[in-house]
Amino acid sequence: MTEQPRMNVESFNLDHRAVAAPYLRIADRKVLPAGDVIVKYDVRFAQPNVAHLEMPAVHSLEHLFAEKSRNHSDRVIDFSPMGCQTGFYLILQGDHSFDEVAELVEATLRDVLTASEVPAANEVQCGWGANHTLEGAQQAARTFLEAREQWGQVFA
């Protein structure tokens, strides 16, 4: 494969063949005009171009993590799924150590494991309320947590 041109989107410049999911990495860091810092983390659940999460599990993890993570941190700005269905982007306000972010992810995923329902999984609060699976979200969370020791190793 020939060298690809540099792109504006950080993840488009990442060689997805070289990473080894699951992992947690800084994907972007911005200092805003007023001096505030926001950091985007790549929370990769599945090996790119090899595996992916099914959409109902992605959708349910998004709801669960977005809701539950805010019980652990007031710095959470967003938790958004990747279109490729291999992970999520966690956006936090301020700089944090790897260990702090990993603790937030771990605590939140442990909450996912004990959840009895997917929050806001209904027609009033969600644009596709029927497209959820608590069991699928919990299985993905369990698998990610079982690999906790390798979250810091991005590349094979």
Cβ atoms of 129 and 117 within 8 Å: the answer is no
In a domain, 7, yes or no: no
In a domain, 153, yes or no: no
Q: How far is CA 154 from CA 17, 55, 133, in A?
A: 11, 24, 28
pLDDT (tens digit, 9 = 90+) per residue, 100-128?
Answer: 999 999 999 999 999 999 999 999 999 99
In a domain, 2, yes or no: no
pLDDT (tens digit, 9 = 90+) per residue, 10-53?
Answer: 999 999 999 999 999 999 999 999 999 999 999 999 999 999 99
Show the domain range for 116: 16-147
In a domain, 155, yes or no: no
In a domain, 101, yes or no: yes
Q: How far apart are CA 29 and CA 26, in angstroms?
A: 7
Q: How far apart are CA 101 and CA 16, in angstroms?
A: 22
Give me the pLDDT at residue 3, please: 79
Identify which has the larger pLDDT, 4 or 58: 58
In a domain, 123, yes or no: yes
Evaluate if pTM is beyond 0.85: yes
| Edge-to-edge strands, sheet with 23-31 | 23-31, 37-44, 87-93, 76-81
Q: Domain of 109: which CATH number?
A: 3.30.1360.80
pLDDT (tens digit, 9 = 90+) per residue, 58-98?
Answer: 999 999 999 999 999 999 999 999 999 999 999 999 999 99
In a domain, 106, yes or no: yes
Q: Is 80 exceeded by the pLDDT of residue 1?
A: no
In a domain, 4, yes or no: no
Q: How many domains does the structure of the chain reveal?
A: 1
Start-to-end C-alpha separation, the chain: 19
